[in-house]
Homo-oligomer: A and B are copies of this chain.
Amino acid sequence: MTTDTRLTSWRPGPARDSIVSFLDAAAALPPVERVAVFDHDGTLWCERPSLPQLDFAIDALASAAAADPALRGRVEYAAALDGDVAAIEGMGLERVAMSLLELFSGMTPVEFDHAARAFIDSARHPTLGVPLRHVVYQPMLDLLAELRHLEFAVFIVTGGGTDFVRAVSHDLYGVPPEAVIGTSIAYEFLRDDDDQPVLRRTAQLASVPNEGAAKVHRIQAHLGRRPILGVGNSAGDREMLEWACAGDGPGLALLVHHDDEVREFAYQGEAETFAVDEPIVDVGRRLGWTVVSMADDWATIFPDSHFPDSRDRGPLT
């Protein structure tokens, strides 16, 4: 059997080999066991230099502040509008993010969906010079295609906002909204003047942020089955990746290592974000995960057709 037509954006090597071995083993399992979970930011698309969802919120803030300059009087909003990183770090990103949630309070699910789609459809990546919707990782699209071929159930399990990711998940990855599990906002159930039911966003989280062990809790609550493939890139994905390998049968944990300064970004930021001692790449190597070097293992980073002028346009290997 030849595997030449699979995973063409992955360079030959141990990472690709471990994926191919896993896919072959999974093909022999009962379909109900074929479940895969993917983190989103930094795993399926680029999260640097800033989280797209944060840019979306700041974009909404800029529009709101243009209509109502008094919003600038709020310290969180002034720091966000000015991109004042020192001020934001001083207050804590969480406080700023929570204040930004208030901008969307009162929206119906459909209104929020339209706002998020409008942003995604027009926004450009701040440094790569391409539309934001083009900074998805081609090797992950290739992996998703193989999983679909094997009829895997595929879920996105993200620390990002559930509603924001749902607005883009089908267009970008073919993942329907019900297969996105993220940090969720609480909704209010109301009745309009005609006594019809209405849902409106609040500015409160429905539960804790979806990181760490919370991802495993939410996978159980939402899916009721354990994944056998976990894909992530940060310390917030650790428990989810361990969970994917905790069964008796085939299990694979893939950790994306951002080590390609030329074609994407080189960073390992989870020490600050998650206050852990051991970098996640070291954890992954210690636990026997497949650590994916973007520089070495990926022939292409972004979809070729989306990057007519891109640097990573060379022939596929």
Contact = CB atoms under 8 A, between A and B. Distances in A.
A164 to B, nearest CB: 11
A189 to B, nearest CB: 4
A243 interface: yes
B178 A109 contact: no
B243 A197 contact: yes
B222 A178 contact: yes
Nearest to A189: B213
A216 B189 contact: yes
Contacts of A225: 177-178
A226 B222 CA distance: 17
A-side interface mostly = helix
Contacts of A40: none
B189 A224 contact: no
B223 A178 contact: yes
B199 A220 contact: yes
Q: How many monomers of this protein are in the complex?
A: 2
Interface in A161-182: 162-163, 166, 170, 176-180
Interface string A138-155: 000000000000000101
B153 A196 contact: no
A32 interface: yes
Given A153-B176, A178-B224, A221-B206, A246 B109 contact: no
A184 B155 CA distance: 20
A217 B198 CA distance: 10
Interface string A177-205: 11110001001010000001111000000
A187 B224 contact: no
A225 B197 CA distance: 14
A179 B179 CA distance: 10
A297 interface: no
Given A163-B224, A180-B224, A199-B216, 14 more contacts: A109-B220, A109-B226, A153-B176, A155-B178, A178-B222, A178-B224, A187-B217, A189-B213, A189-B217, A196-B246, A197-B239, A197-B242, A197-B243, A222-B222
Interface of A: 32, 109, 153, 155, 162-163, 166, 170, 176-180, 184, 187, 189, 196-199, 206, 213, 216-217, 220-226, 239, 242-243, 246
